[in-house]
Structure 1
Amino acid sequence: MLSISNAHPAVEERILAAAASCVRDYGIERVTLAEIARRARVSRPTIYRRWPDSQAILAALLTRRVTEVAAEVPSTGSGRAAIVARIVAVAQRLGRDELLMAVMHSAPEFAMTYISERLGTSQQLLIDALAADLGAAQADGSVRAGDPRQLATMVLLITQSTIQSAQIVEPILPAEALALELGRALNGYLSNG
């Protein structure tokens, strides 16, 4: 097996890419450090120097994917309408994301950790970024008063629930209708009036 120095900047990327391909091919339950190492062309100790186990790799992978998707959707303004439009666009992309959906379908108990037991890193990052945006929108009067972090957390819960349940309500709310209704829900929640 090829062993690559820790100093090589592409090692972590290769490991995360290998983990993603394992999740897509096998589902999350059958992902092993040995298979990740084989696909990344690194030794298992190289992986252990970065993460303690496959669960930690998967958590890092999901954090990276969620933050990448959020970064892919540009902000078009600072008011409520622009913030809501961006949230809906990010939710649509996350709902179609092959990796995230593979995790949701192959390991619901892993996903439930971040749904019902604790906030993950990506959720914390999203709340922090959204709280800053909502604070700015409060200053221009387009978002109602309230603690921006609490508002952002509620927006996360509404949006996360929409993404998780999209498949079961698809016969009633196809993707475009669901996006429209999510936008209405968020606009109503954040509105001054």
Structure 2
Amino acid sequence: MVSISKSDSSVEQRILDAAAACIVAYGIERTTVTEIARRARVSRPTIYRRWPDIRWVIAELLTVRITGVLEAVPAAGAGREDLVNRVVRIAERLRSDEVVMSVIFNAPTLAMVYITERLGTSQQLLVDTLADAIAAGQEHGSVRPGDPHQMGAMCLLITQSTIQSAQMVEKILDRDALNAELALALNGYLKP
């Protein structure tokens, strides 16, 4: 039974890796289940047994990518400065992620669902992670009082906007300046 789970996990990872390669090579709109299956060396039904359609594959891929960045940038402490530094580092990594940025810039219809209509799985995970860090910062005394989930949602909005719009202002705010200004905005929002 364990080898089946490992096998399923390996197949799913191959499918997600193939989806990422297709998105980078062709863009979201031209990525198809057929091409993902070809690159992953699986059949189309293998993909459809796991996900109902291409949008679900892409949503899962984004969740895995964002969760991976979250895990790659662990919390360093309980204070506001540690929280802000972590958020800035996560934002910088996401701005450098070809797949995430391809979705934002090349699939506006898909991206707008998660920007204006509803929280995706990874966004909810980010809000929950931020809420936990904010609560720890409140106990530490370095974060102002308030509902941690509401504050986490606001931090997500500030950071998500920075990620989405960084390219638009890159002549004004280079990478270092953008990181510094995001840190100032988050520190100002969270400071007691």
TM-score scaled by length of structure 1: 0.95
Q: How far did 1:98 drift?
A: 1.0
Q: Which residue of 1 aligns with 2:25?
A: 25
Are 1:130 and 2:130 matched, yes or no?
Answer: yes
Structure 1 residues without counterparts, runs of 5 or longer: none
Q: Give, as a single letter, the amino acid of the residue that structure 1 aligns with 2:189.
A: Y
Percent identity, aligned pairs only, is: 60
SS in 2 for 1:49: helix
Residue 52 of structure 1: SS of its match in structure 2?
coil
Question: What is the Cα deviation at residue 8 of structure 1?
Answer: 3.6
Between the aligned partners of 1:111 and 1:133, the Cα distance in structure 2 is: 26
Gaps of 5+ in 2: none
Alpha-carbon distance, 1:173 to partner: 0.8
Q: Which residue of 2 aligns with 1:48?
A: 48
Q: What is the rounded CA distance, in whole Å, between the counterparts of 2:96 and 2:37 in structure 1?
A: 28
In structure 1, what is the Cα distance between the partners aligned to 2:115 and 2:99? 17
| SS of aligned partner of 1:89 | helix
SS at match of 2:50: coil
Is the contact between residue 128 and residue 149 of structure 1 (CA under 8 Å) also seen in structure 2? yes
Q: C-alpha displacement at 1:115, in angstroms?
A: 0.3
Contact preservation (8 Å) 1:6, 1:46: no
Number of the residue aligned with 1:174: 174
SS at match of 1:94: helix
Other-structure match for 1:142: 142
Q: What is the RMSD computed on CA atoms of the aligned residues?
A: 1.5
Matches within 5 A, 1:1-193: 7-192=7-192
94-103 vs 151-160, greater mean Cα deviation: 94-103
Q: Deviations over 1:10-68 (max 9, x none)?
A: 10000000100110010000111111111111111111110000000000000110110
Q: Structure 2 CA distance, aligned partners of 1:69 and 1:131?
A: 18
1:136 deviates by 1.1
CA distance in 2: counterparts of 1:72 and 1:8, whole angstroms = 24
Secondary structure of the residue aligned to 2:55 is: helix
User: What SS does structure 2 have at the residue aligned with 1:176?
Assistant: helix
**Equivalent residue letter for 1:87:** V
- Structure 2 Cα separation of the partners of residues 96 and 15 of structure 1: 22
| Bigger mean CA offset, 94-103 vs 46-55 | 94-103
Q: Distance in 1 between matches of 2:128 and 2:105?
A: 28
**CA deviations over 1:128-187 (Å, ceiling 9, x no partner):** 111011111101111000000000000000000001110011111111001000000000
Aligned counterparts of 1:176 and 1:5: Cα–Cα separation in 2: 43
Query: What TM-score do the two structures reach when normalised by structure 2?
Result: 0.95
Whichever structure has more helix as a proportion of its residues is 2
The residue identity in structure 1 corresponding to 2:56 is: A
